[in-house]
């Protein structure tokens, strides 16, 4: 009985150590493309990006995360193809971000649309590349 407890405790300690090392490796990754719903996706991609609406989704979204390096800030990103119109994309993204405390900055021609959350010191950039039959949307959050 005592040997079983020692073995169980040893196995649990090894698993906990492996899990801690994996979480640290993932959180410090320079570039990571986790699959939606995977363990790495949950621990590495911000909840703001994980729950971001993907209106008119055509295919699977691609997620990217980076811990940042030197002057480059940490970032989380989702890119997807869409059949939705630009006004519909903007409507859904605004409806999601504004209740989270983001404000939309005045647009600059030819640049992504920027939403800023001052208390959290984060910014979300929305870029829409028109295309036929699908447009490509990239939403990036910088911390």
List pLDDT tens digits, range 41-95. Answer: 888 899 999 999 999 999 999 999 988 777 888 899 999 999 999 999 999 999 9
């649990």: which residue's tokens? 12
Residue 98 DSSP symbol: G
* Residue 84 sits in the same domain as residue 129: yes
* Residue 40 sits in the same domain as residue 24: no
* Residue 23 sits in the same domain as residue 35: no
Considering the entire predicted model, what is its pTM? 0.81
- The pLDDT score that the predictor gives to residue 22 is 47
CATH number of the domain to which 95 belongs: 3.30.310
Question: What is the rounded average pLDDT for all residues in the chain?
Answer: 86
Could you give the number of structural domains in the chain?
A: 2
* Residue 3 sits in the same domain as residue 67: no
Give Cα 35 distance to the centre of its chain.
Answer: 11
Do β-strands 113-117 and 103-104 pair in parallel, antiparallel, or remain unpaired?
A: antiparallel
* Residue 45 sits in the same domain as residue 67: yes
Residue 58's nearest CA partner among 94, 87, 89, 90 is: 89
Mean pLDDT within 87-106:
97
Residue 113's nearest CA partner among 133, 129, 132 is: 129
Range of the domain at 36: 31-142
Residue 38 DSSP symbol: S
* Residue 1 sits in the same domain as residue 67: no
- The pLDDT score that the predictor gives to residue 103 is 97
Residue 74's nearest CA partner among 19, 23, 26 is: 26
Tokens of 28: 């410090």
* Residue 46 sits in the same domain as residue 111: yes
Inform me whether the pLDDT recorded for 38 exceeds 80: yes
């Amino acid at each position: 009985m005592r040997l079983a407890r020692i073995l169980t405790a040893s196995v649990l300690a090894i698993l906990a150590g492996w899990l801690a090392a994996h979480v640290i490796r993932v959180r410090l990754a320079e570039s990571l493309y986790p699959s939606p719903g995977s363990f790495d996706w949950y621990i590495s991609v911000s909840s703001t990006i994980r729950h971001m609406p993907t209106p008119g989704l055509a295919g699977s979204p691609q997620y990217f995360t980076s811990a940042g390096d030197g002057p480059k800030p940490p970032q989380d990103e989702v890119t997807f193809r869409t059949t939705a119109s630009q006004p519909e994309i903007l409507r859904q993204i605004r409806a999601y971000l504004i209740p989270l405390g983001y404000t939309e900055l005045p647009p600059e021609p030819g640049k992504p649309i920027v939403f800023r959350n001052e208390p959290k010191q984060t910014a979300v950039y929305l870029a829409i590349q028109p295309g036929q039959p699908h447009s490509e949307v990239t939403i990036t959050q910088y911390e």
